[in-house]
Amino acid sequence: MNENLKRLSDAGVSIWLDDISRERLRSGNLSALIRDKNVTGVTSNPTIFASALSKGDAYDAQMRDLATRGVTVEEAVRAITTFDIRWAADVLRPVFDATRGVDGRVSIEVDPRMARRTEATIAEARALWWLVDRPNVHIKIPATVEGLPAITQAISEGISVNVTLIFSLERYRQVIDAWLSGLEKAKANGLDLATIESVASFFVSRVDTEIDSRLDKIGTPEAAELKGRAAVANARLAYAAYEEVMNSPRWQALRAAGAHPQRPLWASTGVKNPDFPDTLYVEQLVTAGVVNTMPEKTLDASADHGRISGDTIRPFYQQAWDVMASLKQAGIDYDDVVRALEEEGLEKFETSWGELLETVDGELRKA
């Protein structure tokens, strides 16, 4: 196993891969990453699937079968994506068993066009849970206002959830509350809480991308000094909020009933700005009990030259608050930033979903 990644795992960070494709599965690449780079989970999203479908011939045989059956484009998309998720879940099953269900997880997202519709999201989550039919799947639900009650309902029914597209500290606290409410309902329903896993995907690099562009427009030396600091500070304060909940009587009662924590998951950890170290959002967000889901490029960089030096979150809470205060003083409207990021994130996923539908439609016509 790679020594740098072993140090990261030993520090308590679960390493997940933010990518999936039929080619990666059939070539044995995912199995190799589990063995050699300590990958213990996989996340997917519409953009990842759209990219996978546009490359190679791995999907051709299934596409011909789907065309022969005359299925709709949307049915074909779900058949293709859930096939990959089931396969990845089976590859990761030994990790799932070894960690008693904590890791070895694979995530699939609800149709992003439903992100503003609570009942549709709940129905989609149930359908995906049934379609994949693996205990180590996570159903990804966006952390929109409308998504919050869907998170609670899914958890209450025993569906493991990856809450995605979290940018703000306030929304993160609402996500935690929705998760706790779901567990309380699951307990009241007599479900085994130990079988319900959840992670909260707090997005990182996009925060720097948005705030740094605003700092450039401000143009002062003080603004320039703050570039590349907002995302890490924001994530560190998210972990502080998580710690508060872990010390609450509400959580302690659920833990005593067998529940597992909803771990913070650092998402969007590929560095967008070439001026920043390519392992920035790995090295600066290390502490026990978190997940970092990485694009393969970031995973390789961390394996090659990542420097893991203990806890880089909990000792830096005050520094994080200072950064946020300085951003406000410089003229950054945090609430406007996170609102824009949520809207942009949903729009990007909807666009990718549309591209996925178009790609599959084209392939079905050719098959």
Residue 43 and residue 84 in contact, taking contact as beta carbons nearer than 8 Å: no
Residue 201 phi, psi dihedral angles, 5° rounding: -85, 100
Beta strand ranges found along the chain (DSSP E): 13-17, 39-42, 105-109, 137-142, 161-166, 198-203, 262-267, 290-294
Give 272-276 contacts, CB < 8 A, sequence gap 24+.
Answer: 272/205, 272/206, 272/208, 272/209, 273/208, 273/209, 273/212, 273/228, 275/228, 276/208, 276/228
Q: What DSSP string runs through 197-264?
A: -EEEEEE-HHHHHHHHHHHHHH--HHHHHTTT-HHHHHHHHHHHHHHHHHTSHHHHHHHHTTPPPEEE
The one catalytic residue among 37, 140, 328, 348: 140
Residue 337 CA, distance from chain mean position: 20
Longest CA pairwise span in the chain (Å):
63
Determine contact, residues 293/265, Cβ cutoff 8 Å: yes
Specify the DSSP class assigned to residue 110.
P
Active site residue 6: no
Q: In this structure, are residues 114 and 120 in contact, taking their beta carbons and an 8 Å threshold?
A: yes
Non-local CB neighbours of 308 within 8 Å, separated by 6+ positions: 4, 7, 8, 11, 283, 286
Cα–Cα distance, 198 to 215 (Å, whole number): 35
Neighbouring CB atoms inside 10 A of 314's CB total 14
Contact between 178 and 152 under an 8 Å Cβ cutoff? The reply is: yes
Inter-residue contact 229 to 322 (CB < 8 Å)? no
For residues 164 and 201, give the distance between their C-alpha atoms in angstroms, rounded to a whole number.
5
The residues carrying an active-site annotation are 140
